[in-house]
Amino acid sequence: MPTSIGHEDCEPRHAFGPGERNTYLIHYVLRGCGVFSVGGKTYHVGTGEAFLICPRELVYYEADDKTPWSYTWIGFSGFKAEECIRQTILPERRVFRYSNEELYHCQQRLVEALQVGAGRELMLASVLYEYLYLLLRHYGRSTRRETVIRYGNQYVKQIKEYIASSYAEGVQVSDVAEYLQVDRSYLFRLFKEETGKSLQEYLIEFRLRKACELLRMTDYPIGTVACSVGYTDPFYFARLFHKRVGVSPTVYRRACQTERE
């Protein structure tokens, strides 16, 4: 989970240290520059670059006296966070440039999430998973692809749990991204990579599976079955069911009754 998130416009020569932090911290420089020292090395860090601080190590960083930096930062801890960072090249590199805009926008969303009321912790955890996944994807060691997959599975699990609890309410694929506060294109691509099918396809299959259960186990009218799995139009539901299952809902129910007899 995130331990600290923020933004700061530093005064000239504003500094921290020498001192230690208790969590992982990543500072991203929005503008200006400064220096960052760790392990006997000093790095000059400027606009568009980020630097990593690991727990319980002596560090020092200071804003430039003429063009002091402004940055956002993310602090995070826990076993998964530690495992994630260890499987990247960042502990050796320390200063790095975000390889695409996804990481920057993800970090900005974490800062914005601080203003959220209800559901803030869920949103923070969700976006942090995305951020860690992107770090692994872009900076992961080439032999640790399976770790990236494991972090992707965290999102897939959340998606499936949300669909299982909301399918009857007519939830759409766009609602899933909004609920998790994750970029739609990123989420849909990740789900396809992890499961081999689109999110839309999974949602349809899930609803039809539940519809089959209701047709087998109850004597609900077809329209009621349709509404119970999230379809307000019973005629659309019947056409979709026939297309996917191969028979109409009525024929499917009759076949199930015959089997029981």
Instruction: Note the pLDDT of residue 11.
Output: 94
Instruction: Note the pLDDT of residue 142.
Output: 55
pLDDT along the chain (261 residues), means of 10: 82 92 91 92 89 92 94 84 82 80 81 72 80 82 50 75 83 79 74 87 93 90 92 93 93 83 57
Instruction: Note the pLDDT of residue 112.
Output: 79
Q: How far apart are CA 170 and CA 190, in angstroms?
A: 23
- Sorted by where each starts, the structural domains of the chain and their CATH numbers stand as 2-196 (2.60.120.280), 202-260 (1.10.10.60)
Q: How far apart are CA 231 and CA 167, in angstroms?
A: 9
